[in-house]
Amino acid sequence: MAKILKLNAISPLAEPYFEGYEYSDSVTSPDGIMVRSAAMADYAVNDNLVAVARAGAGTNNIPVADYAKKGIVVFNTPGANANAVKELVICELFLGGRKITDAIDWAKTLKGEGENVSKLVEKGKGKFVGHEIMGKTLGVIGLGAIGIKVANAAAALGMNVISSDPFLSVKNAVMLDPSVKLVADREEIYEKADFITVHVPLTPDTREMFNKETFAKMKDGAVLINNSRGELVNIDAVIEALESGKLERYITDFPSDNLIGVKNAICVPHLGASTPEAEDNCAVMAASQLKDYIENGNIVNSVNYPAVCLPRGGKQRLCVHHLTAESALTEIIKEVEALGAKVENMQNAAKGDYSYLVCNLSKEINAAGLKKIAGVKGVIRVRAL
């Protein structure tokens, strides 16, 4: 019986996927782990662990590279929380155009004024005049699951939407509203957009992609919305841009100590995926992917190993993690055949330094034979299902 450890509270909708498993927050020596936000850098990995499923898109809390070296597959759930984040971004577009949060804070100060409240409201509301988003230009940087939804929703609200993503997939391109204009790079967005929303992962290339030089290229009074990662923005530069009026608003789902309280900075406490619907969707996707990998060796939505899916067949399924640079595939197949088994069908794919092979065999290979395959140069891990 496979054992799955919960490192966080996970939606109960995941439970049916692990029927017949030992599934709880007290499991020891797990085969798989379900996690949301728990920091795993210091988690003591046992020899049984084959996969970690993150019920969410970001995997910054998981030592992905270290796990790849050990043949531990890390899954995430891209798109499962996309609608929740999209709805928050649309809300933030209105917050960026209208001085809603300032006005609400001011209205709270009228408590105790009794019958004078309505008069004070009419007298004071002029301080909070904003502007509509209809007809304004929105720049969407990153057209993944969330960016596509944001672009389409904004277009439906009457905004002129321009977007940029050098890695735009064919699937997402087809989903994009025809009115959304694709531009070659981000420079055009910086120059033309009244609002900018960013939906890219945090990488060495995107860290502090919004900085003093970037803000200098933007229109005066632009609004920047960041629901991806706080580190995409240089905080000192954004504060300077807010103080000078270069930015009218900076709205982020990632508050920091030096940003909280800054005029025209709206700090949302990481609410992007904080809906029961998003949590359910993420849990179901994560559980489904983890179960399929444990039982069938198939990989979908892994951040450290390639996608490989093969229908079950033969007498035994062999799953092998190996180093791409070692070109181990030929030697693995030779070893299989030397053990008297034939490969009925197979898939092998690479993702950077790491490759993954799944093949259906005509006969079962015993433990001694599997040990020989594990001894092939470049092989990281071998499983037989």
> pLDDT value at position 277?
96
Q: What share of the chain is helix, strand, coil (3-state, %, to 5)?
A: 35, 20, 40
371: enclosing H helix or E strand:
helix 367-374
> pLDDT value at position 288?
98
CA 234 to chain centroid: 21
> pLDDT value at position 1?
86
> pLDDT value at position 327?
84
> pLDDT value at position 142?
96
> pLDDT value at position 260?
96
> pLDDT value at position 363?
95
> pLDDT value at position 221?
97
- Give me the residues of the chain with pLDDT under 70, please: none
Same fold, 1-80+275-305 and 306-385: no
**CA-based Rg of the chain, rounded to a whole angstrom?**
25
Instruction: Give the predicted TM-score (pTM) of the model.
Output: 0.83
Question: What confidence tens digit (pLDDT) does each residue in 121-138 have?
Answer: 999 999 999 999 999 999
Spans of all domains in the chain = 1-80+275-305, 82-111+129-267, 306-385
> pLDDT value at position 57?
84
CATH number of 306-385: 3.30.70.260
1-80+275-305 CATH pick, 3.60.20.10, 3.90.550.10, 3.40.640.10, 3.40.50.720: 3.40.50.720
> Given the DSSP bridges, would you call strands 3-6 and 22-24 parallel, antiparallel or unpaired?
parallel
Question: What confidence tens digit (pLDDT) does each residue in 96-116 have?
Answer: 999 999 999 999 999 999 999
User: Domain 82-111+129-267 is classified in which CATH homologous superfamily?
Assistant: NAD(P)-binding Rossmann-like Domain (3.40.50.720)
- State the Cα–Cα distance between residues 8 and 25, nearest whole angstrom: 8
